[in-house]
Structure 1
Amino acid sequence: MIDFTVAICTYNGENRLPDVLEKLHSQIGTETFNWEIIIVDNNSKDNTAKVVEEYQYNSSKAYPIKYYMEPEQGLAFARRCAVKHANSPLIGFLDDDNLPNQNWVAAAYRFARKYPKVGAYGGQIHGKFEGEPPVGFERIARYFALIQGEESYCYNYKYKNTIYKMFPPGAGIVIRKEAWLASIPERPLLPQTSEDIEMLSQIWEGGWEIWFNPEMEMDHVIPKSRFDGDYLKRFFRDNGLCRYYIRMLKYKRWQMPLVIPGYMANDLRKLMCHWLKYRKVLKDDKVAAGEMELLLSTLLSPFSISRQKLIGK
């Protein structure tokens, strides 16, 4: 009987995987339950398989390390492969640039036992930067899967006069397998930049609770290339173009034409306010330029996904 699965989805991760596996080898507080590690190789072209094979051969730990190849490119398909092969009711997803703290597995397992209605939950994610973040990075940190907090809370619920509407990042997310099987369709509609929100929205719409667990802490390695101006523009463009579909997930078909004008008016207002505030520095301020791309793409997002696809979803 396996109680908890750690699933690592990787693509060309031969240089990153060893750090993640070493962190998992040093986990504490797991003596009272059984757990496993699943590595899903998302069609890597490097020596990822060889690295995993060496760890499988040399590992003397009580938990098994299993390897699976997923040829269809995309994190959603790698995760689906992990869900298919996981032997436990709980699956903690780590990317190959996520470095969990020593008690991450134990804290993740305890939380699900404490909250039986939780379908998904994430924890604290700290940035481990390989280069200096640009000025103003704190304004966009959440888009890089960075989040902190000292108390647990349920998303989309009011807590201390605050309504938490944002879902946790997909990095380090723990999914109850039952919630996944009941809520997630065969194929995602959105690209990888927004498929985490799509996944969690579907679980939440299925009636499951989504929580933040501060006891689950990890570092997210962020390479210097993520701070390149062109990368930030592409990244935020992709995020913005998906916004319409994400918003419409909570509405019925007949409600969509009624709410879209209000969203577009508000998006236009935000875009103009941002331009007025940062127009003199947009050429040199990477963060402000990225935010501008996000706002513009959000305004255009109703035209980026066909109505037929949205209704079919």
Structure 2
Amino acid sequence: MNLIGVSVIICTYNGRNRLKKTIDHLLNQNPEFDFEIILVDNASKDDTAEWVISYLQKFPDVTNFRIIEESRPGLNHARITGFRASSFDLILFCDDDNWLAPDFLTIGSRYLNENPKAGVLGSLGIPVFEIEKPEWFSDFSHTYAVGSLGKKPGIQPVGSFHYGAACFFRKTALEKLEELGFESFLSDRKGKGLNSGGDVELCLAVQLVGYELHFDDRLTFKHFIETHRLNWNYYLKLKEGISSSFPILESYKVHEFSELNSFKKHLWKNYFIILKGVIKSNLLGFFSSENLNQVNRVTTKTKLFSFFKNYNKTLEAFRANQKLFNA
């Protein structure tokens, strides 16, 4: 039986230089319910765990902090390990560069207890920069897990998603997925790799087992963005990593297509849209901003190549999801 409270899970890879303020902000929480902090060391090579143990010695009264290891590289592996080790009925996945507002756990736990159908609750990230903010950042900031992604507070339409940074999940929803035998089709982040999409995938899966996705802009956190992540070439690689999952996430639209053939037609329709995007981004590049054109070219070309690379895997995922979610 899960206890009433929040299990904060920090998944980190080589997070030694990022974790101090993240931990400080967590220790400054005073929620209405009990909470625990579980740090999952995901194959770090910078003595992250040893540093955290040493740092926590400054706080002898802190007894709700645990460190566990996940030797298999990959954010999805770390999330699952943290979830399985958790004690409470609410899960908060907190990245190692997320600085939670003092009332974050109180607002989140209260909201989820008042909305029992909410399986995912997204928050509002506010960027904090290690160096001066680049001129281009505001136009492309949504890729960095900040802002609302266009959401208004409350329940979101079916099929919506939110970034995994400082995002609540109801543990019963995750347990139901595990009971069904759910496994992610995306590897998500591994070490320094930038492939992603696991957070989106989890949001979609939770909705397929009957829960809702909500957003509350009162839940705020500062997202610390390091210098190397504010380089334009890094940003393009980040967009490439995100686009490389195409079209696997389409496999979660199992209630929109009754049979495999109609789903195949949907995939090929998307392919031709992407193909047109590639042609358009090359022909009209002279009439758009240089940055925007670069982003469009990277994303459309990556999706075009990923379509063929992931096509059979996407069909396999669609069949598996049909069976798993009884679509």
TM-score, structure 2 normalization: 0.84
Counterpart of 2:57 in 1: which secondary structure? helix
8 Å CA contact 1:134–1:287 kept in 2: the answer is: no
Say if 1:44 and 1:170 are closer, same or farther in 2 by CA, change over 3 A: same
Structure 1: 5+ residue stretches without partners = 158-164
Match of 1:188 in 2: 184
SS of 2:307's equivalent? helix
What is the Cα deviation at residue 114 of structure 1? Answer: 1.2
- Displacement, 1:111? 1.2
Code of the residue aligned with 1:292 in structure 2: it is R
Q: 1:172 aligns with which of 166, 169, 184?
A: 166
Could you tell which deviates more after superposition, 301-310 or 7-16? 301-310
Do the aligned partners of 2:98 and 2:165 also contact (CA within 8 Å) in 1?
A: yes
Judge which range, 264-273 or 96-105, deviates more. 264-273
Q: Is the CA contact 2:5–2:34 (under 8 Å) kept in the aligned structure 1?
A: yes
Pick which of 204-213 and 59-68 moved more.
59-68
CA distance in 2, matches of 1:58, 1:269: 58
TM-score, reference length from structure 1: 0.87
Shift of residue 200 of structure 1?
Answer: 1.2
2:269 pairs, out of 262, 266, 287, with: 262
Structure 1 counterpart of 2:325:
none
Which of 281, 288, 291 is equivalent to 2:296?
291
Q: 1:154 to 1:65 in 2, by over 3 A?
A: same
Give the 3-state SS of the residue equivalent to 2:128 in structure 1.
Answer: strand
Q: Distance in 1 between matches of 2:116 and 2:91?
A: 14
Following superposition, the deviation at residue 137 of structure 1 comes to 3.0
Query: Structure 1 pair 250/309, CA: closer, same or farther in 2 (3 Å)?
Result: closer
Residue 129 (structure 1) shift: 1.8
| Contact 2:15/2:96, CA 8 A, preserved across alignment | yes
Aligned equivalents of 1:17, 1:62: Cα separation in 2: 16
CA contact (8 A) 2:185 2:248 kept: no
The answer on 1:207 being equivalent to 2:201 is: no
SS at match of 1:58: coil
Corresponding residue pairs, total:
302
Measure the CA separation in 2 of the matches of 1:153 and 1:198.
20
- The sequence identity of aligned pairs, in percent, is 25
For structure 2, the 5+ residue unaligned runs are 189-195, 321-327
Shift of 1:12: 1.1
Deviation at 1:144, TM superposition (A): 1.1
CA displacement 1:52-100 (0-9 Å, x = unmatched): 2134433244651011011011111111111111000111011111111
Structure 1 residue 101 displacement after superposition: 0.8
Which of these residues, 5, 16, 19, is aligned with residue 17 of structure 1? Answer: 19
Q: 284, 287, 307: which is aligned to 1:302?
A: 307
